[in-house]
Structure 1
Amino acid sequence: MAVKSFLFALALSLTAPVVALAQGFAGMGSEAQGFATPSLGTPLSFPADHGPHPDYRIEWWYVTANMTGPDGTAYGLQWTLFRSALAPFATQGWDSPQIWLGNAAVTTPEAHYTSERLARGGTGQAGVIAAPFEAWIDEWHMRGDTVDTLQLRAAGTQFSYDVTLEAQGPLILHGQDGYSVKSQQGQASYYYSQPSYALSGTLTLPQGEVAVTGSAWLDREWSSQPLASDQTGWDWFSISFDGGEKLMGFRLRQADDSYYTSGTWITAEGDTTALPDGSFDATVLEVSDVGGRDVPTRWQVRVPDYDVDITVEALNPQAWMDMSIPYWEGPVQISGNRTGVGYLEMTGYD
């Protein structure tokens, strides 16, 4: 009974702040309360910024991948490690205020497999080291001498994957040199990506092993108050066009039904242009019933400055992440005046 009580209390302490991290948008818009906050003009520093920032409240390491098997079947893969802090410091042992959550998923045209891990910081069960790089929770890991070459592993009850990522381009700093504004009021995060990995490896699904190749995208972000208090969710797109260009764009939904948007246009050579509020447009074309929820799964995305007018459509509309952090996330296919593949993450539809 004592052990069960301890585990129940631990589960509550782990889950509550993480829900606030990924879904509780009022929580993400609350005052920083003693945590550090991003400031314009502070340069990002590598490899140090590949590691954790315990004086900030919210942080994640996030990989998505678009893949194909030998028969041309499309697949998606996701690996995320979240860090959420109860206080702005790190200690060893069970009294650490650092909380870790891992999410992993594989999406096929017919199925969506997910798994989740929770951990308290300070025990070695989860963490991140900047160099040589390693991020882990239990046996799930992302590791390499640098972030240019990574091995990525995770497993759930119905899936596993073991893939290698090889960077084909430079790191990308979003916003103004990595300072990414999220609202008219000025809330912001530090945000960078490696959007140009070539991927190869193996998926293991209920029907057996599948050799896959494709492309992957790493996102890194940290803050303590990234959203305004009236922002109710977001729709985030990462798109790799067949011509080599890439697009990151998001719209933050606000309580008055307006949107704040931002994005980055990335050339095939890795040069970037920030897309200010209003220059990235995402309009819902089709809504799907996803477990009784109305979730947009087909979009029109336009960036007039770069002659982008595309349709973004879910590979599998039922890609719902039904875990401690409930949200929709899955691979998408691109058609219109450009073609390609990408990933879509949507929160606040539960």
Structure 2
Amino acid sequence: MKVAKGHSKRKAAPKAAKSKGAPMSAGIPTSKILKAQSSINAVLDGQPVLDPENDIAPHPRDSDGDSFYIISYLEGGGHKYTVLFHLMVIVKSLGTPVAQLVISVFDETTREYFSRELNEYWLNNTTVVPAGLDITMPWGRLSGTIDQLNVEGHLADGAVKLDMKLTMAARGPVLPNLVTGIIPFSDGIDYEYALPRMETSGQLTIHGAKCDVKGWSWLDREWGRFGPSKWTWMNIQLENGVQISLWDEQINDSNPNSYVGGPRRFATILNPDDGLIVAPVVIKELRNWISPKTKRTYATRWSVTIPERAELTVELLKDDQEIVSAIGVNRIEGKARVSGTYGKEKVNGVTMVEMCDLFPLFQTL
């Protein structure tokens, strides 16, 4: 695995007399070295802890939940769609877990948006094949391998009627978060990697109108142990080929109004030359919106700074892209536009923004 070197300019470190076999920094006070460094370059000589090809399947070990988060950017029939298919098998520690499927569709042409969260408690009417990836629920199915995923989704709920059948072929390298694929999450750890570029084709049927669609998808594969936490996550995809997985997480101990051990903010960047970079990130909320359905306040516009690399503005294309949850985890899963600079060059791009707060769920457990 290749890890890209930083390109930041540094002040010259103070010189010191060298002795045979001594490092270049020998004899220099540590405080002076820290002041001279604006960033740290490092080389990872090894492989990520995870095994993406085999880890595509559900995980029985060290995991309280499995998440398969797929965002598809599709065009067809004169329309431009963003489709979310998020299948989870969660709360395994309670015994037989819950299967949850979230489907949302945003038609950027008509500005129509709809979403549904569907839960099968204790895996009722759900089949999880022990070997490989094949999970079937009444409203959808996810199956396949790392080279080809097959997604089916069905909704028939009042005015919302949807059928989808998509095939996704992974192209290009894996993006393992923090390079190793291990990220801190609440009071435990999670494993996470992405397939950021999956060639996608298939059919969408919305309100009885069927059309062939083509485009690209991002799969975010995650498993591990989760606890009380609140986060904003973005999968920023820039037109210059740069792919970024960005985390801004806050955790708490016992008081939901007191965040400790955080925030944890970092970006894992996959460059067009397949090089990986891990960098700090500064994210600021610039505008908010109050949901009329849940009375929750969500950000809708952000500034994102990756020091010495990027200055970006992220803005939701539609404020109301909220998932109303039957288990109390209401959240935004929203398509957003990205603009700004990367490496001092002007860039544009897209992202999904996930704003999720697990504190209410853990208060009821």
Other-structure match for 1:239: 236
Q: What is the 5 A alignment of 1:177-216?
A: 177-182=180-185, 187-206=188-207, 208-216=209-217
Shift of 1:66: 2.2
Other-structure match for 1:77: 83
Q: Which amino acid aligns with 2:102?
A: N
Q: Which amino acid aligns with 1:222?
A: W
Other-structure match for 2:321: 319
Q: 1:122 to 1:155 in 2, by over 3 A?
A: closer
Q: Distance in 2 between matches of 1:101 and 1:175?
A: 27
Other-structure match for 2:36: none
Q: 1:309 aligns with which of 308, 311, 322?
A: 311
Which protein shows a greater Rg? Answer: 2
Q: Which amino acid aligns with 1:303?
A: I
User: Where in structure 1 are there 5+ consecutive unaligned residues?
Assistant: 1-40, 89-95
Q: Deviations over 1:88-140 (max 9, x none)?
A: 8xxxxxxx623211111112242222233333567772325553x32332351
Q: 1:61 to 1:289 in 2, by over 3 A?
A: same
Q: CA RMSD in A?
A: 2.7
Q: Distance in 2 between matches of 1:124 and 1:171?
A: 33
Shift of 1:79: 1.0
- Partner SS for 2:308: helix
Q: Distance in 1 between matches of 2:125 and 2:350?
A: 36
User: Where in structure 2 are there 5+ consecutive unaligned residues?
Assistant: 1-46, 252-256, 342-346, 361-365
Q: For the Cα contact (< 8 Å) 1:246–1:266, is it kept in 2?
A: yes
Q: 1:296 aligns with which of 287, 294, 299?
A: 299
Q: 1:191 to 1:328 in 2, by over 3 A?
A: same
Q: 1:156 to 1:301 in 2, by over 3 A?
A: same
Other-structure match for 1:35: none
Q: For the Cα contact (< 8 Å) 2:52–2:193, is it kept in 1?
A: no
Q: What is the 5 A alignment of 1:94-133?
A: 97-109=96-108, 110-120=111-121, 125-127=126-128, 131=132, 133=133
Q: Distance in 2 between matches of 1:259 and 1:115?
A: 30
Q: What is the 5 A alignment of 1:27-42?
A: none
Q: What is the 5 A alignment of 1:41-56?
A: 43-55=49-61, 56=63
Other-structure match for 1:339: 348
Q: For the Cα contact (< 8 Å) 1:115–1:155, is it kept in 2?
A: no
Q: 1:259 to 1:85 in 2, by over 3 A?
A: closer
Bigger mean CA offset, 116-125 vs 47-56: 116-125
Shift of 1:47: 3.5
Q: Which amino acid aligns with 1:236?
A: W
| Structure 2 length-normalised TM | 0.71
Q: Distance in 2 between matches of 1:48 and 1:269?
A: 25
Q: For the Cα contact (< 8 Å) 1:121–1:127, is it kept in 2?
A: no
Q: Distance in 2 between matches of 1:136 and 1:268?
A: 35
Q: 1:348 to 1:124 in 2, by over 3 A?
A: closer
Q: Deviations over 1:226-284 (max 9, x none)?
A: 45x5x4x1110001111111011011135457622122011124331222xxx112211
Q: Distance in 2 between matches of 1:156 and 1:180?
A: 34
User: Percent identity at matched positions?
Assistant: 21
Determine whether 1:135 maps to 2:135: yes
Q: For the Cα contact (< 8 Å) 2:48–2:176, is it kept in 1?
A: no
Bigger mean CA offset, 252-261 vs 336-345: 252-261
Bigger mean CA offset, 263-272 vs 206-215: 206-215
Q: For the Cα contact (< 8 Å) 2:99–2:123, is it kept in 1?
A: no
Q: Distance in 1 between matches of 2:338 and 2:357?
A: 24
